[in-house]
Structure 1
Amino acid sequence: MTENKAASIQALKFGERMYFPSKVTTVDTSGERLRISLFGGIEILARAVIIATGAHYRSLPIARWGEFENAGIYYACTELEVRSCAGREVAVVGGSNSAGQAALFLSSRGCTVDLVVRGEDIGVRMSSYLVNRIVSDPMISVRASTEITALEGDTSLESVRMTNSVTGEEAVKPCRGLFCFIGADPASGWLYGDCSVDGNGFIRTDAHIPTEDLGKHWQNLGRGPLPFETSIPGVFAAGDVRHGSIKRVAAAVGEGASAVSSVHQVVGVRL
């Protein structure tokens, strides 16, 4: 909170205008300036826009899920999250590389890990080098064809119920940390098809934009998209909403700074 307040004060010192809480509904690219419409009827004209709306991490449709978020349920696996459950029983949900890396990291911190995978084979979506390390790690148990079906605990998560989708067998396991890695949905739906996105809705930028998506906007510019620029000239994307981003806070900060550098080129600001 202190950092946010300091950032706001600094921005205001430079004459910035802030609209919060506020929601962008559309970006009109038909005129000389970009026209950003906010919920409630406010319109803003701009020469450049940076989209940093992030992504919403997917959750499981289980009772009490929201109750245990940040009280045993986590969407990241760093030193910060592991402090509360180091050396305890934990579960990792997901079959991707990020889930495998989380399982190994937790094991290295003395945790007994249940890796819960909905599919029959963890090798379908996970790199073979991770699979080999996981199956040889005595601290990790792979629960294939299995789903988390219930959560238990008082003020924090204490145990989970696992159900095998093939046999129907259920087991209640102690669990002090449930790490969920089942993907994320980008906050990009408000663009309404005006911007090139991948199959999951993440915004494509610069070299990731297919040639066929660089239409009439670019014909008279005499240049291609700058770093972090989208298929709409002057519109940039940074952070989790961007296709190919690393999905880490530090990386998002770096992307934002790099996007600002590209904005300077568009608006003619001397660095």
Structure 2
Amino acid sequence: MQQAVTSSIASSVVDINDLRLGDARALLEHGGTAPSPGLETSPTAYVQGMIDGLCELSLKDPLTGLANRRHFHAVLERAIDVVARSGEPALLLMVDIDHFKNINDTHGHVAGDRVLQSVAKCLAGCIRPMDTVARYGGEEFAVVLPNCLVSVGQAVAERIRQTIESLTIMVGPGACVSATISIGGAYAPEWVRSTAALWIERADNLLYRAKSEGRNRVFIDHQQVIAVSAEEKNLLFGHLSLGEPAWVERIGADPSGSSARGING
């Protein structure tokens, strides 16, 4: 069987010149990741390079070069799995640029893009190689920090806030702006298989609090939640019967009534 499959593959080898790769190559060249078809590069290696480049491109935000929302959710799901299995602390930060609309309205959208790029570069420079920073949407970013102790979470977020606050961003000839950010953060619940939506919601609630209480500040939920929400209970126990356990039914059916009296007493 394996020999037949191998023979089938060998007989269906495609000439690289027959592949319409122009659009794919243009995308990769725009992103700066197009493979070079050198003399020593085999057709297979060249096509594989194109595939790898397109995969990488599909996970990046085109403006900032950060992870995009698709990549962010994949990272978040992996972090949830690790925390559920090992109890290792993981922190999610939701970051929002304060008064970003004012920057766009005053200096234009090109200036706004430069602010987004500068903040993104600064965020990427503030994290460890094991961390992930993503553009979540608009002027909002997300940072996933695995193995981040509860005792240092506030300090990490505060350092990020202070670093952004110290930036001077050139947005045009002789025009500079500064930016501040608000941060809300939450730790993933330990030993519980939660959901990305619930984790994001908890961090978002703290972000809303940071913005509503004056902006340019940090609020972190330091408590690694042990309580299980209604949705998490449904995920964990939804497959079980909602009826009373068999031992309760047996106690109620005891003709002597001794067990029932023991419970009522």
TM-score (norm 2): 0.24
Higher helix share: 2
Larger radius of gyration between Structure 1 and Structure 2:
2
Structure with greater proportional strand content: 1
